[in-house]
Structure 1
Amino acid sequence: MSKGTILITGASAGLGAEMARQFAALGYDLGLCARRTARLEELRGEIAAAHPDRRVELRALDVTDDASVFEAFHDLSAAFGGVDRVIVNAGLGKGAALGKGRHDANRQTAMTNFVGALTQVEAAMEIFRAQGRGHLVLISSMSALRGMRKAMTVYAATKAGVAAIAEGLRSERVPGLDVSVIYPGYIRSEMNEHVEHRTRFMVDTATGVRSMVAAIERRRVRAYVPAWPWAPIGFAMRALPLSVVRKLT
C-alpha cells in the first residue's frame, strides 16, 4: 500500500533522482518531471526493479514553459487522484560575475530557479487549495542565507527568493498546507560535478539526500542539511559580518 504520492521536478539526475529512489524505498508513489525523459525512463526502470509495487508516472517538463508546468502538475494530480507532496527541485547553476558579459547565463539561472519555481508553486497551490491539504517543499541552498560573490551572486539571489516565497505562504496560513524549505550544503550532484572533490564538507549524493528526505518527512519548516556542519554554519552565516562570511564560502 502506498504512503502517498509525491511529485518531484528536476528528477532526471542529481538530488531529484536520488530523492525519487529514497522516497520510493519509503513506500511513496511518484510523479517525476524533467526535460530529459530518457533519463526519467531509466530511473523508472531502476525503481520498478527495486520496488515493483510502486507506481511511477513520468511527464516531460521545462519549468520555464509556464503552460507545460500547469499541464504536467494537473495531469499528474488527475492520474493519481491527488498529490500529497510537491517538491520544487528543478534548478540551474550557471552564472558569472555581474557586468562580465554573461547576462545570458545569469538570466537563464534567474528564469529557471526563481520564475520557474514561482510557476511550480502556483500550479502546486492550485492543486492543494482544491484538495484542502498538501505539503509544499522548496529546495533552496545554503548560499541563500547571504549575498554571494561573483558567479554565485544570481544563483544565491534566486534561492533566497524561493525561501521568501515559502515564508509568504506560511504567513498566509493556508488551511491544510505545510511548507518546508530545505537548504542543502555541499552535496555531490550533477550541478556541481565540476567542483573540486576535496571541497570541505562535501558529502556524496545518497548521504546528503538521506538528510533531505528525513527533514522532508518530518515536515520541517526549514532544514539545513546535512545538519552537521550546516546548521551551525547557517547560524554563523546569518550572524557574522559579510567580510567573515566571504571566507566561509
Structure 2
Amino acid sequence: MSRTIMITGASSGLGEGMAREFAARGDNLALCARRTERLDALKEELQGRYPGLTVSVRALDVNNHDQVFDVFRAFRDEFGTLDRIIVNAGIGKGQPLGTGKFRANLQTAETNFVAALAQMEAAMEIFREQNRGHLVTVSSVTAVRGLPGNVTTYAATKSGLAALSEGLRVELKKSGSPIRVTTLYPGYIRTEINEKVKNTPFIVDAETGCRAMVKAIESGRSECFVPGWPWTPIGFILRRLPESMLAKIF
C-alpha cells in the first residue's frame, strides 16, 4: 500500500533528493517550497519515471506561518491522510556575532527554528487527529555542540530543533501515542547550500547523502547521524571534546 509523504523545502538539495528516493520506493508525494517552477519540473520528472505515482506540489514560504498551516491542511485534505511529514526547509546563512550581520543571523534563526516550530505544530495537529503518523526533523551534526564563527547561529538553531523534537518524542512515549518522531543529523552533503565551500572533510554527493537519509528514516530509530559512517563516531566524539579542543579544530 502506497504511503503519502510530505516534504518541505523540496525544490532543491536534500528535500529534492529525498523526494526522488521515496518516489523510487513507490510513495506518493506532497512537495512544497517557494520555487514552484522547480517543484513543477520535479513533479513532471517523477510522474514520467513512475507513472502510477501521485505527486502534488504547492507553494510555501515557511516563514509565512499562516501559510504553513494552510498548506499542511490542504495536502491532508487532498490525500485524505499524511503518513509522514519531513520538516526539511532551512537556510545556511550566518556570521560571527557582533560583526554587524544581525539580519543574516536573525533570518537563520527565524527560518531554521521558528519556522520549523510552525511546521511541527501543523504536522502534529494533523497527526493527533489521525492518531498516527511519522514526523521527521532535519537537524545537523553541528547541533551537538556550540560552534564558532559563521556556524554559531546555525548550530544553535539546529540544536534547538533537536531539543524540540526530543521533548515531543518523550511526551508521545509518555502518553503511549503511536505517533513517531525521528531526528536526523546530516553530516556534510554537497548541495546548493554549501556548493562553494571548499576542503570539506568527509563530504558526500547529494544522491549518496539523500539515500542514507531515507534509509535512516525507514530504520525507525529516534535519532540518526547520516551517513552513519563517519558521522556517528564523529558526533560521539564532538559531544565529549573540551572547548579548548573545539577551538583548535574549528
The TM-score range, normalised by the shorter chain, is over 0.9
- Give the SS at the match of 2:108: helix
Counterpart AA for 2:41: E
Q: 1:110 aligns to what?
A: 109
CA distance in 1, matches of 2:54, 2:180: 24
Q: CA RMSD in A?
A: 1.0
What's the CA shift for 1:15? Answer: 0.4
Partner of 2:165: 166
- Cα distance, 1:47 vs structure 2: 0.6
Q: Within 5 Å, which residues of 2 pair with 1:1-249? A: 1-2=1-2, 4-173=3-172, 175-196=177-198, 198-249=199-250
Cα 1:225–1:248 change in 2 (3 A) is farther
Q: Name the % identity.
A: 56
Shift of 1:170: 1.0
Deviation of 1:5 (Å): 0.5
Q: What CA distance in whole angstroms lies between the structure 2 residues aligned with 1:213 and 1:248?
A: 30
How far apart are 1:246 and its partner, in Å?
A: 3.7
Rounded Cα–Cα distance in structure 1 between residues aligned with 2:140 and 2:105: 17
Query: Matched residues in 2 for 1:94 and 1:148: separation?
Result: 14
Instruction: Give the C-alpha shift of residue 247 in structure 1.
Output: 4.1
Q: Secondary structure at the match of 2:239?
A: helix
Amino acid at match of 1:55: T
Change (3 A) 1:221 1:247: farther
Unaligned segments of structure 2, at least 5 residues: none
Distance 2:31 2:99 in 1: 36
Once residues 60 and 99 of structure 1 are traced to their aligned partners in structure 2, the CA distance between those partners, rounded to angstroms, is 35
Deviation, 1:248, is 4.2
1:109 corresponds to which letter in structure 2? Answer: T
- SS of residue in 2 equivalent to 1:224: strand
Large movers: runs of 4+ above 4 Å: none
C-alpha separation between the residues in 1 aligned to 2:52 and 2:133?
23
Deviations 1:135-172 (A, max 9, x none): 00000000000001111000000000110111111111
Deviation at 1:52, TM superposition (A): 1.1
SS of alignment partner, residue 239 of structure 1: coil
1:162-212, CA deviations, whole angstroms, 9 ceiling, x for partnerless residues?
A: 10111111111251110000000000011111111x321000000011110
Higher alpha-carbon deviation: 118-127 or 41-50: 41-50
Structure 2 residue matching 1:95: 3-state secondary structure: coil
Name structure 1 gaps, 5 residues minimum: none
**Counterparts of 2:246 and 2:53 in 1: how far apart (Å)?**
44
1:61-113 CA-to-partner distances (Å, cap 9, x unmatched) read 00000111000000000100010000000001011000000100000000000
Structure 1 residue 240 displacement after superposition: 1.3
TM-score with structure 2 setting the length: 0.97
Matched residue type, 2:130: Q
Amino acid at match of 1:235: F
